[in-house]
Structure 1
Amino acid sequence: MRFHWIDALKGIGIILVVFAHHKLPVALDTYIFSFHMPLFFFISGFLFDFWKHTASAASFVKKRFRSLIVPYFGFALLTCLFYLLLDIGYQPGVTNIDFFKASPAENIHSIVYALGPLISYNPPLWFLTCLFVTELLFYGFAKKYYAEPGKLMFWLTAVGVIGYLYSVYVPFRLPWNADVALTAVVFYGAGNLFRKFIEPEAWKAGEKPRDNPDYQPGLKFRRSLLRVWKFLPGILTLVNLLYFGYLLHFPTPEEMNMNVLKYGNFFSYYLLAFSGIFTFVYLFKNVRSSKVLEYYGRNSLIVLALHFPVKDILTKLIVLVFMIDVETYYYNAGFALGLTVLNLFCMIPVIFLINTYFPYLLGIKRPSESSESLRTRLKKFIN
């Protein structure tokens, strides 16, 4: 079953990611970073159907490796080559990009370790390895507690506390952003539980009867949530709007960035993240979906992986064509919005090319030569 409102929600999420990677006014930057990456983990959890993967854990790991880790290394190497050629062509014999100032061995280590700060030429790729670890972590808990949502919530909360303590007291990072996954799994689990809240049949696979003992805890949990849900969207939306209003009057430098383990205060971090998430969930679930947002939502992986180099190309072109100092437009929301729109427009042919001719970059097997004609593919692409 395809949730069009979820596609649209992913669309606005990836647009916020692109927008936030420009220099924004402090208030706007802090607001977006308070929830935009937690939102993606929430959506990923919502879309995960545990009952489809109960037969074989090895098969689950293999599928997730193909859909997340293969794209990570594919796009990491592709964009690394792009920036290397750009650096060589810009000033032969002079290294301008910090990543290439290190030795080749250090560069390989950085790509394999997969931390955002290490892959500085394309840091958004950190999300792919982090999501992979997050899904494995959630799957491990789900294997034991999926039919008991109360226990599942308890263990996810406990892991979230461990993740926060790790960010405060441990001075080193874990490969593949496993340290971030300790926090991300809370949002992932919340998304999965939310789907079961709006789809009670999802508590048990297939045609399991309602008197099944494994089915009952889910129904009881849902009934409990229904009592709270009458008021929760309004309360969280109010919190979200008050927070944004506060930032407009008292701009506060960004204290929340999952990529670098910056969470600020434990309670306010989760409150603000969930208030932002559910504000947009409630909005997109109750308004008519947008085809444009759905399009970018369906192709969010490509946008995530390539918007950074596209941003750099656009910035260089603006400097060369208009002879302006881009730094004078830093922290200008209008300028950032314009670049974001240009970036998303430039992504359209890139998305088409990758989906049509290079799907293996997304972990998808290349279509056979006898597959649809270019005209048919274009129709599917547009629709």
Structure 2
Amino acid sequence: MTDCKPQKQSWLSRAFNLTALQKSRLYWIDYLKGIAIVLVVYRHSLLGIQGSGELVPGYLESANMIFYSFRMPLFFMLSGIFASLSLRKRTVKQYIESKFETLLYPYFIWATIQITLQIALSGFTNSNRGLIDYTYLLYQPRNLDQFWYLPALFNAAVVYVLIKKYITRKWWLLLLIALAFYFLSPYLQRISMISDWMEFYIFFAVGDIISKMFFHERVQHFFRSPITFLAAIPFFILAQLFYLGNDMYYLTSAIMRGEFLFIAFTGCFTMIALSFMLQRWNVFKWLRIIGYHSIYIYVMHVMVAAFARTVITHFLDIHNVFVILFFCIAAGCIVPVLIYNLFIRDNFAWFLFTYKKRKKTIQNGPIAQSPFQATLS
């Protein structure tokens, strides 16, 4: 008689949720989110080091600029790819409620936590926070470090779904509306709660528009081919050289904004092709774990990286930029995963990511899908 008693997970397996690697998932998605979130942690770790007064080599800043050109568009596009699939399982009302729970709720909780810590620990951080910063939660999330993304994705997703449901389903008209939002967004930057979703809405829209063909076997085979990735590399390099050479970070003209779209989509295409290659080779599995936990890393990494930088520079008196950057990135990616799996998932702090307490996951079988695993997809 077979013993069906659940086997207890090891501490390491539970801490990193290694059973996620055994789930029946599209691995390229986790690879893609893993790549994107590591680049996000790189950016904010580098900015923190610069803000602390350390001298950062120019090529590290150039790398940050390159990553910036496609990193956040990639998140929005990936979310758009799965929008229609999500709507097949939910009504529009249920879809909006789901997005509120997975995006806006953790936004308000974690942004408040970060602001409070930055005020309380102002002597050790680079931030200059005050009580006024709490008001930015409602209209100016761009002033709150990394948190702007969560309300921007919520707003973009809700507006897109409402337009597609009640106004038009024609792809070309959806694309024209997205282009109009994109080019109008600079005029509303004083209220980033509005301008942010308008600027990145187009990547969400394109993701949904291409989703109808994206999962066809012929398209999947195209991305699984090494030739696709190798062919994309020269275009990616040329696009990034053009981006760096023309100082396009601030996108001061409509022409530059149009050029940026080409650069961003080139970067997104290349990263998607790379993620399919990683899935094909089944290497760097740690990226899948990072990608699977990307939402938790996103909300916590600035606080964790700041703490790591403070310890390294103030207490260990280490000022080598590469050492600081390495440990900030490592801590920013790993510590949030540990915190979530050991103290939040199925534990006493569950309310930090959801207002609906869920049943405990099964430890030796398929794990119940957390609503946040699809947040950045």
1:356 aligned residue: 346
For residues 126 and 38 of structure 2, what CA distance do their matches in structure 1 show?
29
Checking the alignment, whether the CA contact within 8 Å between 1:34 and 1:276 is kept in structure 2 is yes
Checking the alignment, whether the CA contact within 8 Å between 1:256 and 1:269 is kept in structure 2 is no
Using the size of structure 2 for normalisation, the TM-score is 0.73
Checking the alignment, whether the CA contact within 8 Å between 2:32 and 2:275 is kept in structure 1 is yes
How big is the shift at 1:164? 1.9
Aligned match of 1:113 in 129, 134, 139? 139
Mapping 1:1-383, distance limit 5 Å: 2-23=25-46, 25-50=60-85, 52=87, 56-87=91-122, 90=123, 97-100=127-130, 104=131, 106-117=132-143, 119=144, 123-144=145-166, 151-167=170-186, 170=187, 172-174=189-191, 176=193, 178-199=194-215, 236-244=232-240, 253=247, 255=249, 265-288=256-279, 289=282, 290-324=284-318, 326=319, 329=321, 335-352=324-341, 353-357=343-347, 358-363=349-354, 365-368=356-359, 371=360, 376=363
> Relative to 1, partners in 2 of residues 1:254 and 1:378: Cα closer, same or farther, differing over 3 Å?
farther
> Relative to 1, partners in 2 of residues 1:234 and 1:141: Cα closer, same or farther, differing over 3 Å?
farther
How many pairs align? Answer: 324
How big is the shift at 1:69? 0.8
> Relative to 1, partners in 2 of residues 1:292 and 1:319: Cα closer, same or farther, differing over 3 Å?
same
How big is the shift at 1:242? 2.0
How big is the shift at 1:73? 0.7
Q: Could you say what the CA RMSD is over the residues aligned between the two structures, in angstroms?
A: 3.7
Checking the alignment, whether the CA contact within 8 Å between 1:26 and 1:251 is kept in structure 2 is no
How big is the shift at 1:8? 1.2
How big is the shift at 1:51? 6.4
**C-alpha deviations, 1:12-34, integer Å up to 9, x for none?**
11000001123362321211110
**C-alpha deviations, 1:145-180, integer Å up to 9, x for none?**
77x5xx32333233323422331xx2643352x222
> Relative to 1, partners in 2 of residues 1:271 and 1:286: Cα closer, same or farther, differing over 3 Å?
same
For residues 268 and 86 of structure 1, what CA distance do their matches in structure 2 show?
42
How big is the shift at 1:317? 0.3
> What secondary structure, in the 3-state scheme, does the structure 1 residue paired with 2:357 have?
coil
For residues 301 and 271 of structure 2, what CA distance do their matches in structure 1 show?
23
Checking the alignment, whether the CA contact within 8 Å between 1:157 and 1:186 is kept in structure 2 is no
> What secondary structure, in the 3-state scheme, does the structure 2 residue paired with 1:116 have?
helix
For residues 14 and 263 of structure 1, what CA distance do their matches in structure 2 show?
29
Checking the alignment, whether the CA contact within 8 Å between 2:232 and 2:270 is kept in structure 1 is yes
- Runs of 5+ consecutive residues of structure 2 not aligned to the other structure: 1-23, 47-55, 369-377
How big is the shift at 1:38? 0.3
How big is the shift at 1:323? 1.7
**C-alpha deviations, 1:250-281, integer Å up to 9, x for none?**
76656158xxx998702210111001000010
